[in-house]
Structure 1
Amino acid sequence: MTSLGYLPWHRPSAYDARPAVRDEQNDLTYADFAARVDAVAEQFSEHGVGRGSVVAIMLPNRVELLVAMVAAWRLGAAATPINPAFTANEADYQIQDADSALVINAGPDAPDGGRPSLSVDDLRRESHGTLSPAATSPDELALLVYTSGSTGRPKGVMLDHANLEAMSSMMVDVMRLDAEDRCLLFLPLFHVNAICVSFLAPARVGAQLSVMSRFTVDGFLDEVERLRPTYFSGVPTIYSMLLAQPREVDFSSVRFAACGAAPASKELLDATEKRFGFALAEGYGLTECTCASNSNRWWDVRKVGTVGPAFPGVRVEVMDQDGTILPAGERGEVVIQGPTVMRGYLNRPEETAETLRDGWLHTGDVGILDEDGYLRIVDRIKDMIIRGGENIYPKEIEAVLLAHPGVMEAAVIGAPDEKFGEVPFAYVACFPDTKVAADALMDDCRTQLSRYKVPVGITILGALPKNPIGKIDKPTLRAQHPVTSIGA
């Protein structure tokens, strides 16, 4: 049977005295963490949670979120983490859609979806010793992680313990983690990136995790100086923010950092490595494959502009519309096979069948594999702009805009057009205290792009809207368009 080595009851006893996880209020060894899990699992059991139940957890980043999640697993139940910034309407939808038996939240004024709830401050810290031995199985549902819902109501992605076992094991291999590693976590724990990269993977090897409740530039830099982490995981926006600030901090303890969730420009990756001195490994994945399928290895050949080769045990191919796997160098949809592919979407059989068809997870991303198996993401299929029959990939235009030294973020959308159906329109945010003329950006586009790819306009904003996991929120930009802009 699979070891499920990230769970307290499968870890070597040699880990017991090692530091496991800390935040602003807690500093727990592995033995402390396991004891807290047992105490909370007993409490959950008294509230009717058992095998097959779902526990909803609506908390900011803190140790108790992790304790509650693992306590659910201790009972054979699943956890569904909820963005703590959600409105009551958004939270209630997820709580009810997941059919949650219990909600863990910040207190009586927090959303509960009409279900029984426990305040985080009331979670038990000491066990009464009443639980039977843990018997968590690889085929049991572990996580219900809800997609961002950019194409409709969010869907619950069903991930079982076999998925988490495979993902955490692959990450230990790809990141070369060991017991001496110290991870600094600041990404939100309602997303699989933070859960898998920063919690489950280090837990497999007895490494340490320090949890930040939220990311601020100065707060992060303070923690780097104080805790001396060996790695962390971020998104492109965060690395842009770090580059934009003047403070110099000693990053010599950091072996590598991961970058994912959204495409990063070559300029951003190169500038980050040059300034801070650590290897920055860009990767790719999605919730439906338990976080990641590809990554550049920080310790091996890194091809900037690609998201690296597939994880060990995962097959990644590029496929045309007829289902034919394409050779290296050709453009098509990225498809994935392997033990990390989700069970499906909760209570969504038609959407599950559409995404998991013919034995492949269809990602909706357009990519190209090179001769070495390194994947380059071209764009999202749904983001592709069709201008009078010509296909335009926004990422190509965004790359030109991001190459300008004053541009921090760029997003290109398809704007309605009576003549061509839709045309490219760009939104840009600049680095702090930097001014960039839209005309200059337009000149760059005219110089480097075919005429039909040049945006019809560029709007410069103070900041681009983000979704809860830090990706640029193109649906919001589309909803806000048209706006006053500087045309081509």
Structure 2
Amino acid sequence: MHYAELPELRAARSPDLPCIADDDRALDNAEFLIETRRAAAVLAARGVGAGDVVALMLGNRVEFVVLMFAAWRLGAAVTPINPALTAAEAEYQIADSGAAVVVVDGIALAAPILEVAEFATADVEYIAPAMEAELALLIYTSGTTGKPKGVMLDHVNLIAMHVMADGFLSFDERDHALLILPLFHVNGIVVSVLAPLRSGGRVTIHGRFEPRGFLRALEIVRPTYFSGVPTIFAMLAALPPEVTADISSVRLAICGAAPAAAELLTGFEARFGIKICEGYGLSETTCGVTLNPPQGIGKAGTVGLPFPGQRVAILGPDDALAARGELGEIAVAGPHVMRGYLHRPDETAHALRGGWLHTGDIGRFDEDGYLIVAGRIKDMIIRGGENIYPKEIEDILTAHPAVYEAAVIGAPDPKYGEIPTAFVVLRPGAWTTAAELIALCASSLAKYKRPDFIDLLDELPHNAIGKVDKLALRARRFPADAVRTH
């Protein structure tokens, strides 16, 4: 099934069944098809056709999904733009992607724009789905090492990702996703929209995340699953014990985008009775690579087993296969791997050399074949010639019952080159000291791995998809009175 024909097929099969909803409106399958045809007619009238790119600079709302399917109906690709970007940042993505038009909601840009309100009153026209279209999404990376790159994903990638994930998650028409992650990220699109819709299920788009409000939404909407990032699970787990809700409809939650502490996941499961399936993936793999299976053994501290239908390997410095248990670069091959980076042939060739997608992440397989992610290659700290992986330190710190979140970076040092530096946020109402955390590290880590400084903060900076923004932490001026551990 090509995604361009999905609205047609859903409406023909079950016209009256719910399809997609947000805080303001709900569409059944027949209404979703009508709205998709309406949007396609408006885009076509603006000259959008096969091979073009439509930019969507919208928040999480029904119209985003309608417009995405409308663009695909015309054979065009979609590039989602974070609506929080400045005009200059957005215009870089618009120009780089070659977008023919940008759909906005009251945002002024130096580019051809369509206001989302223009679609509400347009006439409905029949335009046959363009089944030959290849490129589906241009997802722009976060750009932590330079200008954001456009990851090219085609319809084959999207379909392959669904088939691979369905082997673990067994989506069907009973599934109902509650979407909380942003739709400008591949996780939000693939896991919480395409997966349920392709399986005959439905989607409800939740508004801005707030822990108590989201818990109430789980009780009222009655979804079967949702996908989140560690920060979301941490905020929910930090709610006072008296805050409860009936969330028995949720069969599982998916955690990704950044590594989560094992204690966070096990604690969340114990409190809420929801199984969390932590996984690993990236935009370049159309979202997923591994997942702790909902059925069978889930291993906290790992990101699970590889999805079927792909190859996942650990490569050494010379790109040779590493032995089981050895750390190395995580590499992936399969039908879900991107076509490449838009307009960047050299970077594409480097990333896809040797028939593998080189992820830039460090990891290893345990004795049961579960993947353990140690961190990013660029985040690795080299202290006096010794390699230190921040996640190992972060896991020790977050094991402390008072610690809500921790991040470790390498800070410049004239003697050792780099030294590990920890930033820690405590749970609401909890208390500990830097000295106590130093003692915890000393009991669990070799001396060279222990953070040289620990700074207690009110909060850590996060990017738009919930990852800790380590670039912002590196730019932070470390306080002169911070506690030095050794």
Shorter-chain TM-score tier: over 0.9
Quote how far apart the aligned CAs of 1:329 are: 1.1
- Aligned 8 A contact 2:4 2:130 in 1: no
Amino acid at match of 1:184: L
Query: CA, structure 1 residues 165+127, in 2 after alignment: closer, same or farther (shift >3 Å)?
Result: farther
Q: Please state whether the residue corresponding to 2:231 is helix, strand or coil.
A: helix
Amino acid at match of 2:287: C
Amino acid at match of 2:293: R
> Which residue is equivalent to 2:422?
426
Say if 2:481 is the partner of 1:487. no
Distance 1:372 1:17 in 2: 46
Say if 2:445 is the partner of 1:437. no
- Aligned 8 A contact 1:35 1:127 in 2: no
CA deviations on 1:228-281 (whole Å, 9 max, x unpaired) are 111100111111100111211112111110000011111001100000001110
Deviates more, 1:425-434 or 1:409-418: 425-434
Deviates more, 1:365-374 or 1:264-273: 365-374
- 1:333-372 maps to which residues of 2 (within 5 A)? 333-372=329-368
Quote how far apart the aligned CAs of 1:10 are: 4.5
Query: CA, structure 1 residues 125+209, in 2 after alignment: closer, same or farther (shift >3 Å)?
Result: farther
Distance 1:481 1:357 in 2: 38
Q: Please state whether the residue corresponding to 2:305 is helix, strand or coil.
A: coil
> Which residue is equivalent to 2:226?
232
Q: 1:393 aligns with which of 389, 394, 397?
A: 389
> Which residue is equivalent to 2:205?
211
Distance 1:188 1:22 in 2: 15
Distance 1:37 1:315 in 2: 36
Amino acid at match of 1:303: K
Distance 2:316 2:357 in 1: 14
Quote how far apart the aligned CAs of 1:381 are: 0.8
- Aligned 8 A contact 2:3 2:72 in 1: no
Quote how far apart the aligned CAs of 1:89 are: 1.4
Q: 1:447 aligns with which of 443, 449, 452?
A: 443
- 1:310-321 maps to which residues of 2 (within 5 A)? 310-321=306-317
- Aligned 8 A contact 1:297 1:308 in 2: yes
- Aligned 8 A contact 1:306 1:375 in 2: yes
CA deviations on 1:134-186 (whole Å, 9 max, x unpaired) are 1223x611101100000011111010111111112222332111111111111
Distance 2:114 2:479 in 1: 45
Quote how far apart the aligned CAs of 1:5 are: 8.4
> Which residue is equivalent to 1:129?
125
Amino acid at match of 1:487: R
Distance 2:222 2:125 in 1: 37
Query: CA, structure 1 residues 39+333, in 2 after alignment: closer, same or farther (shift >3 Å)?
Result: same
Distance 1:98 1:5 in 2: 21
Q: Please state whether the residue corresponding to 1:7 is helix, strand or coil.
A: helix
Distance 1:305 1:370 in 2: 11
Q: 2:458 aligns with which of 451, 462, 480?
A: 462
Q: Please state whether the residue corresponding to 2:198 is helix, strand or coil.
A: helix
Distance 1:23 1:57 in 2: 17
Q: Please state whether the residue corresponding to 1:358 is helix, strand or coil.
A: helix
Task: Give unmatched runs, 5+ long, in structure 1.
Answer: none
Distance 1:72 1:298 in 2: 34
> Which residue is equivalent to 1:46?
45
Which TM-score applies when normalising by structure 2?
0.97
Amino acid at match of 2:194: L
Quote how far apart the aligned CAs of 1:333 are: 0.6
Query: CA, structure 1 residues 358+12, in 2 after alignment: closer, same or farther (shift >3 Å)?
Result: farther
- Aligned 8 A contact 2:262 2:301 in 1: yes
Q: Please state whether the residue corresponding to 1:386 is helix, strand or coil.
A: strand
Q: Please state whether the residue corresponding to 2:174 is helix, strand or coil.
A: coil
Amino acid at match of 1:136: M
Quote how far apart the aligned CAs of 1:125 are: 5.4
- 1:65-464 maps to which residues of 2 (within 5 A)? 65-107=64-106, 110-112=107-109, 114-124=110-120, 127-131=123-127, 133-137=128-132, 140-246=134-240, 247-464=243-460
Q: Please state whether the residue corresponding to 1:157 is helix, strand or coil.
A: strand
Q: Percent identity?
A: 52
Distance 1:160 1:309 in 2: 25
Amino acid at match of 1:206: G
- Aligned 8 A contact 2:50 2:130 in 1: no
- Aligned 8 A contact 1:426 1:455 in 2: yes
- Aligned 8 A contact 2:463 2:469 in 1: yes
Quote how far apart the aligned CAs of 1:4 are: 4.1
Q: Please state whether the residue corresponding to 2:306 is helix, strand or coil.
A: coil
Amino acid at match of 1:412: V
- Aligned 8 A contact 1:186 1:213 in 2: yes
Distance 1:130 1:21 in 2: 21
Query: CA, structure 1 residues 5+180, in 2 after alignment: closer, same or farther (shift >3 Å)?
Result: farther
Query: CA, structure 1 residues 350+10, in 2 after alignment: closer, same or farther (shift >3 Å)?
Result: farther
